[in-house]
Structure formats: C-alpha cells, structure tokens
Amino acid sequence: MKIAAIQMQSGLDPDANLAALEPLLAEAAEAGASYALTPEVTLIFPESRDQLRSVAAPFENHPQLAQVGVLARQHGMHVHIGSLPIPLDDGRFANRSVLFGPDGAMVAQYDKIHLFDADIAGLNAYRESATYKGGERAVTAPLGDFTLGFSICYDMRFPRLYNALANAGANLLAVPAAFTVPTGQAHWHVLLRARAIETGSYVIAAAQGGQHANGRATYGHSLIIDPWGKIVAELDHDRPGVLLADIDPAMVAEARHRVPALANARDFAAPEPLRG
C-alpha cells in the first residue's frame, strides 16, 4: 500500500488553503497513493480565538470539508484532513481530524484529546484549553489491509494513547502536526520514532512548515517511519510538498514478533507518592 504525507504552509483563508491542498492531493494520487494525510490545522491556521470565530464553520455542511469529499472521490483515495477547528456549543472549539473514503463519504472523525496548558518561565501562560475542548475517545478506522489510529500533534507526547490504539488493532498511526521550530528540532524525530518502536507500527506524520500568515513558524520535516523505528521517507525541509512510501502489514507482524512488547505488557500498582 502506498501512502502520502502532505506538507503545507496553511494560512488564515480556508478557501486559499483548500486551493493549495488540491494540487498536492492530485500529485499524491498520480503517484499511486491510496491514502493521504494532511497536517494539523490544514484548512485554517489561526493564532487567536477571534481569528477562529471569524472563519471557523460548523461541522454540518462545512463548505471546505464537502469539497475534500469531492476530491477524495475524484482521486479514488482515502483523504485524511489532519485537523480543522470546529465550533462547539460552549464557545470553544474541537480540533477535529476527519477521514474520507475513496467514495467521498466521511469514514471517521477524531477530536484531539491532549491540550497544551503550560506556565513557561519568562513567557506568558499558554492555555490551549481556554480555546479548545479536549476529545474523550480514541479512534481507529479500517484502511485496506491496515487499521488506522488517529492522533493530533501534542498527543504524540502521551504513549498511553498509542498503546491503546495498537491494542485496539491499529498498525498505522497518523500524527498530523504543527510543531514549533525549537520543539521540532529537539523532539520531532525521536518522539515519532519512539511511538513506532513501542507499538511496532508504521507512523505517518504530516506537518505544517515555514512562516505562516498568523506570525507562527513551524518545523516541517514530514516523516514516514516503519515498525522497527526506521525513517523510510522524510521531507527534509519546511516547504510544501508530498512525501510517499510503500508500507507492508507483514513488517508490522515481524516487528511485533521480534519484540512482543504489546503482548508482554502487564498492569502494575503505582508507587505511593513521597512525603516530606
């Protein structure tokens, strides 16, 4: 099976982002990909809640998503929109990933579970949970001879999610992202390789890259990693592009046979917290 990671430099205009995506999907389809993953915040990359509110459309009859379904049917391929913001009733947004099948129908959706809330020395507190509501359910979906496990960006720092996905049958893990440059340089490759190794799964990571209209800069370097942790394909830059690789379920079986970590895992009691 051939898969494609689409690297983008999304801005604030959903129609312009969709127009930028169309030729990249066509390139992936022409190369024989039957599944294509796009980055986090593919259809709008906002910096503030006000920007979100001005352009984020309701999920039902979403105009750009409807067109993505048309493109999936036109190319006869699975198209996985890494994420887009969806307004919720409480005034916040879901960071939602959506998979379309080759017939253009929506197959599955996933709301990003883990949200980045942090107080960083010398910087203002960052509260992703003030704008987004975290999802509550891990998601898998059938994908030919594979089972696809869903995640989004910051999720990659939480191995328990990927362990749950693998134990539910996932053997191809999707990680759409919009990593900053400093954290990308420090953590991107090692975290993604670790998720592949510990689950014996393929990992496909489609990234945002470059300088965006919202003032942010992202790392790029989209990756496809095999179940042994080897990087089999990489866009070694931050520009838009298409990354392709062939994947084989037999390699998943071999990796899990050689290192049966999923089968050998055991429950255990956590230590009592230290006092004093």
**pLDDT tens track of the chain, all 276 residues?**
999 999 999 999 999 999 999 999 999 999 999 999 999 999 999 877 787 888 889 999 999 999 999 999 999 999 999 999 999 999 999 999 999 999 999 999 999 999 998 876 655 667 888 899 999 999 999 999 999 999 999 999 999 999 999 999 999 999 999 999 999 999 999 999 999 999 999 999 999 999 999 989 999 999 999 999 999 999 999 999 999 999 999 999 999 999 999 999 999 999 999 886
Which of these is catalytic: 22, 153, 230, 254? 153
40 is catalytic: yes
Residue 273 is assigned to a structural domain of this protein: no
Whole-angstrom distance, CA of residue 177 vs CA of residue 185: 14
Which of these is catalytic: 60, 112, 128, 198? 112
pTM: 0.96
Q: What's the structural domain count of the chain? A: 1
Residue 224 is assigned to a structural domain of this protein: yes
What are the residues facing 149 on neighbouring strands? 140, 173
153 is catalytic: yes
Quote the tokens at residue 196.
């592949």
Residue 105 is assigned to a structural domain of this protein: yes
Domain that holds residue 209: 2-262
Residue 235 is assigned to a structural domain of this protein: yes
Residue 274 is assigned to a structural domain of this protein: no
Quote the tokens at residue 92.
């916040």
* Surface-to-core class of residue 72, CB atoms within 10 Å of its CB (0-12 exposed, 13-18 middle, 19+ buried): buried
Residue 267 is assigned to a structural domain of this protein: no
Residue 153 is assigned to a structural domain of this protein: yes
Residue 256 is assigned to a structural domain of this protein: yes
Which of these is catalytic: 22, 27, 30, 40? 40
What's the CATH code of the domain at 139?
3.60.110.10
Contacts of 37 (CB under 8 A, 6+ apart): 3, 4, 5, 6, 80, 82, 174, 176, 204, 206
